[in-house]
Amino acid sequence: MRDTVTILCSGFGLGFYVPGLLVERALKALGIKAEVEVFESLMSEDKKKTTDDSRKAYRENFAVALTSQKIPWDIRNSLDPTGVKVLFERWRGEGRQHFITLSGHWVHVLDMYREKAAYEVMADLLYIDADPSPSWKNLCKLNPGYAQGYYEMNMYDRVKREVLCRIETGIEPLPVPARNGRLVVHGGGWGIGTFREKFAELEAAGYLLDIAAYSNEEIGEEIHGRHYYMNDPQWRTWLRDSGGQYTFPPFAKVSASGENRFPPCQHYQEGMYGVIRQASAVISKPGGGALVDSLSSGTPLVLLDPFGPHEKINSDLWVELGFGIRYDQWKQAGFDRELLRRLSENILTSRERYPDYAKSYAERLYAAERRS
């Protein structure tokens, strides 16, 4: 196929960014040209700063983060008209027709582009969560018929409690006996949730922890066998590398003493995913990105308080499938290691049944090309 597939991501959460990079790389491996765009690149500098300020506020206060989801807003007010115009000129010049969007924010932009393009515009609306996340819910309030003319692709069926597709990382999961027995504890891409409250309790139960830090102040001493890891705190999703590409966040194991350096993360397993892949479980809120990582790595989720109703649905689904357990239930079971092993085996024996999204998308593209 000669056209470039444009994958539309958002930095409002790494779960709407990293899966897009994975799909981009998978399509390229299948011989399809693909390119990622990030919504925040179309925002004015003051709006980007507001996003940064929100990230800090949400990290410091989970209640503030939860309340923010209930506030209606029109993301179109954040767009830089000049940036949108330049993007459309490039897309039209290259004849861009095929899109995949992971965020409802981009549908506003696609609608405008569809009006200006002199050809058919085809887009997958890829839902990373089992229930619409805030960007989709806000879009639906502004435009209830937003999906008309697009292809809705759900990764999960919340009613039937099924996985409909998966996003692959390109590296096989480790069998349970090959894992290190440690627990990864994180708060998603923005470091929000109740995960910081669990360190002492988990260590008292005999576990060694791999902890995600989100600022230099969060890097503690390596007591009780703790390891701290962090994405480069200066990195932002809307920043391209020297080659003009969007990348996985620069990442490193960090220490409280000395200067920490964050080398480029060329492959997904060079980042936090590589730590997750070796662990017995991940302790985190049930974000869409956490589900993608869990299914690909075979690492179960111990589920903390959800960030909104959509993550509550994610949590319910993972428990129902036998891929995760709620933290309090695991605590009542005495933080049982055998229980984690069984959950991991459930994922490892089930995951191959689910079609890979990138491969399925490529098959649809080629089938449509043959028909035309």
What are the pLDDT digits (tens) for 16-49?
A: 999 999 999 999 999 999 999 999 999 988 887 7
- Check: CB of residue 155 under 8 Å from CB of residue 168: no
Total Cβ atoms within 10 A of residue 64: 13
**What is the DSSP code (8-state) at residue 77?**
G
Is CATH 3.40.50.300 correct for 176-353?
no
Phi and psi, residue 281, nearest 5°: -165, 165
Question: Model confidence at 66, in pLDDT bands (50, 70, 90)?
Answer: low
What are the pLDDT digits (tens) for 306-319?
A: 988 999 999 999 99
Cα–Cα distance, 238 to 79 (Å, whole number): 14
For the record, the structure tokens of 266 come out as 């060329």
What are the pLDDT digits (tens) for 201-221?
A: 999 999 999 999 999 999 988
Question: Model confidence at 76, in pLDDT bands (50, 70, 90)?
Answer: confident
CATH of 5-168+355-371 given 3.10.50, 3.40.1350, 2.40.160, 3.40.50: 3.40.50
Provide the strand spans (E) within the chain: 5-9, 34-38, 98-101, 122-127, 151-154, 156-157, 162-163, 183-185, 209-212, 227-231, 251-254, 281-284, 301-303, 324-326
**What is the DSSP code (8-state) at residue 13?**
S
| Look-up of token digits 């995760």 | 324
Sorted by sequence, the CB contacts under 8 Å of residue 190 that are 6+ apart come out as 13, 14, 55, 58, 59, 214
What are the pLDDT digits (tens) for 105-115?
A: 999 999 999 99
How much of the chain, in percent, has pLDDT values that exceed 90? 80
| Look-up of token digits 């990373």 | 128
Residue type, 262: F
Q: Is the dihedral of CA 215, 217, 222, 225 positive or negative?
A: negative
DSSP letters along 223-244, please?
GGG-EEEEE-TT--TT---TTS
Question: Model confidence at 60, in pLDDT bands (50, 70, 90)?
Answer: low
What are the pLDDT digits (tens) for 245-261?
A: 999 999 999 999 878 99
What are the pLDDT digits (tens) for 127-142?
A: 999 999 999 999 999 9
> CATH 3.40.50.2000 occupies which residues in the chain?
176-353
The predicted model scores a pTM of: 0.94
